[in-house]
Amino acid sequence: MHSRTVAELSAGLAAGDFSSVELTRHCLERIEANTRLNAFITVTADTALETAAHADKLLGQGKAGPLTGIPIAHKDIFCTRDVLTSCGSRILSNFVSPYNATVVQRLSDAGMVLVGKTNMDEFAMGSSNETSWYGNCHNPWDESRVPGGSSGGSASAVAARLVPVATGTDTGGSIRQPAALTGITGLKPTYGRVSRYGMVAFASSLDQGGILAVSSEDVAIVLAAMAGFDPRDSTSVDEPVPDYHAALNTELAGLRIGVPQQFFEEGLEPAVEAAVREALEVYRGMGAQLVEVELPNLALSVPTYYVVAPAEASSNLSRFDGVRFGYRSESAKDLHELYRKSRGEGFGAEVKRRIMTGTYALSAGYYDAYYLKAQKVRRLINDDFRNVFAEVDVVMGPTTPTPAFGIGDKTDDPITMYLNDIYTIAANLAGLPAISIPCGFADELPVGLQIIAGHFAEARLLAIAHSYQRETDWHRRAPAGF
């Protein structure tokens, strides 16, 4: 049962091959049997089975939708009513949310069964899940390696087939990079496509909720329920949500694929490049045209990101002060100490590093040189993409320069760690939708192909990904033993 996709499970439930309770119990058993992966921070077994029983009732009454009764896991960054929402941090290690994030509510309304909350880098700051207060998460392809991050728990859980689908968030690659490193499909939608309400903010102008699943077809089904304007999020966009599933099989005749030289330069591992080049050949074989394009400012995306994201984070994380909720130091004697100790003890090293970097970038006398300058570069990167999309439909390249690295390999060197996001960050800076799909292996570790499209072109993007997944079966490969 666990090797099936959401689409297949949905058909199975509709046909009565198994019940949602059976399916949910199966997922819960697999989660229980694989706790060594540390993919989950919280498992909501009891409420999951209740929800599943209710879903079975709806299925019996013929009132079910395509997602009714399908288990899902939410990244622990999404506020979930009456459930611990830790954001991977000690400072929220006692925070039970009084409300549901819009994403959580919409998927619940669609009948999905929440089985638990997944592990993540603290406040989504990290590319390996190693900054989590709840410990490392493991890559099911090689448990000595990281699953990527920050949505590491969601990626690990889907790759190990513990759940058919999970939510994630992507600020600089936090859905696509772990999807690539664990051999699954991960979509970061257009900025504004999915509501950010109830998603604990890291960098507000870059954060976007999305989906990790086995196939792009599954992503299409879940995205339809998740996307859309939310009056509670002023940055969500009032654009109609197309029928992504129906659009999957549109013809790709005359597809023009942009291949930026800048995605294939120094630092890219040859085996990764080989897998990606081969995937491009598959597209050429399907009739697509490969066009060399230029993203001249791509190299500036990492430094730009590491000004903008920490600056916004330094302000977003000010609310964690030990006053109204979350961790509060017991030993504080006055207000100043309450702040210093609660935050000093509650935040981990990487979060502190970014708060300090961001505070510096916004300080009087440095604002123009850093934050304002970074915003200007951001516009240049945006312009690069606009020029490219005047010529081609999508841009393709590797999602990451290397496959999954070993736990502990990069923890002492933040810059090398940051460079793991070199190909993914630009899409966040420009607000573009981007997907990572499995396209082969390098040294028996999965490799991801990244596809970036124009704003709100998710339907087209998913159709292009789906056409590849009809031709290949990389996405159906599960790690040994799972």
Partner 1 sequence: MEWEVVIGLEVHAQLGTQSKIFSAASTEFGAPPNTQACAVDLGYPGVLPVFNGEAARMAIKFGLAVNATIAHRSVFARKNYFYPDLPKGYQISQYELPIVQGGKMDITLEDGTGKTIGITRAHLEEDAGKSLHEDFHGMTGVDLNRAGTPLLEIVSEPDMRSAAEAVAYLKKIRTLVQYLEICDGNMQEGSLRCDANVSVRPAGQQELGTRSELKNLNSFRFIEKAILHEVERQIDVIESGGTVVQETRLYDSDRDETRSMRSKEEANDYRYFPDPDLLPLVLDQDMIDDVRATLPELPAARHQRFVGDFGLSGYDAEVLTSSREMADYFENVVAGVGGEAKLAANWVMGDLSGVLNRENLSISESRIDAEMLAGMLRRVADNTISGKIAKQVFEAMWSGEGDADTIIETRGLKQITDAGAIAGIIDEIIAANPRQLEQYRSGKERLFGFFVGQVMKATDGKANPQQVNELLKKKLS
Known catalytic residues are 75, 150, 174
DSSP 9-42: HHHHHHHTSS-HHHHHHHHHHHHHHTGGG--EEE
CB of 100 to partner 1, least distance (A): 10
Shorter beta-carbon distance to partner 1: residue 21 or 203:
203
Q: How far is CA 408 from the centre of its chain?
A: 22
Q: Which stretch binds partner 1 (CB under 8 A): 68-76, 95-103, 251-259, 453-461?
A: 95-103
Q: Can you tell me which residue has the tokens 């390696």?
A: 145
Q: Which of 244, 371, 405, 474 binds partner 1 (CB under 8 A)?
A: 371
Closest CA to 181 of 264, 265, 119, 272: 272
CB of 28 to partner 1, least distance (A): 26
Exposed/middle/buried for 376, CB within 10 Å: 0-12, 13-18, 19+? exposed
CA torsion sign, 290 to 452 to 228 to 380? Answer: negative
Does 379 bind partner 1 (CB under 8 A)? Our answer is no
Does 14 bind partner 1 (CB under 8 A)? Our answer is no
Shorter beta-carbon distance to partner 1: residue 40 or 78:
78
429, 305 contact by CB (below 8 A): yes
Shorter beta-carbon distance to partner 1: residue 317 or 442:
317
64, 55 contact by CB (below 8 A): yes
Does 329 bind partner 1 (CB under 8 A)? Our answer is no
CB of 89 to partner 1, least distance (A): 10
**CB atoms near residue 265 (< 10 Å):** 12
180, 139 contact by CB (below 8 A): no
CB of 208 to partner 1, least distance (A): 13
Does 204 bind partner 1 (CB under 8 A)? Our answer is yes
Shorter beta-carbon distance to partner 1: residue 283 or 305:
305
What DSSP designation does 347 have? Answer: S
CB of 312 to partner 1, least distance (A): 6
Q: Which of 15, 364, 390, 415 binds partner 1 (CB under 8 A)?
A: 364
- Size of site (CB under 8 A) for partner 1: 44
CB of 73 to partner 1, least distance (A): 18
Buried b (16+ CB within 10 A) or exposed e, 299-334: ebbbebbbbbbbbbbbbbbeebbbeebbbbbeebee
Strand 289-293 with 256-260, pairing: parallel
CA angle 348, 353, 354 (to 5 degrees): 105
Q: Which stretch binds partner 1 (CB under 8 A): 42-50, 192-200, 425-433, 439-447?
A: 192-200
Does 321 bind partner 1 (CB under 8 A)? Our answer is yes
Q: Which of 95, 133, 389, 468 binds partner 1 (CB under 8 A)?
A: 95
DSSP 451-471: EEE-TT-HHHHHHHHHHHHHH
Does 98 bind partner 1 (CB under 8 A)? Our answer is yes
Q: Which of 234, 270, 330, 412 binds partner 1 (CB under 8 A)?
A: 234
Q: Which of 299, 323, 349, 356 binds partner 1 (CB under 8 A)?
A: 323
How far apart CA 290 and CA 396 sit, in angstroms, is 9
What residues line the site for partner 1 (CB under 8 A)?
78-79, 85, 87, 92, 95, 97-99, 101, 196-201, 203-205, 231-235, 311-312, 314-315, 317-321, 323-325, 335, 339, 359, 362-364, 367, 371
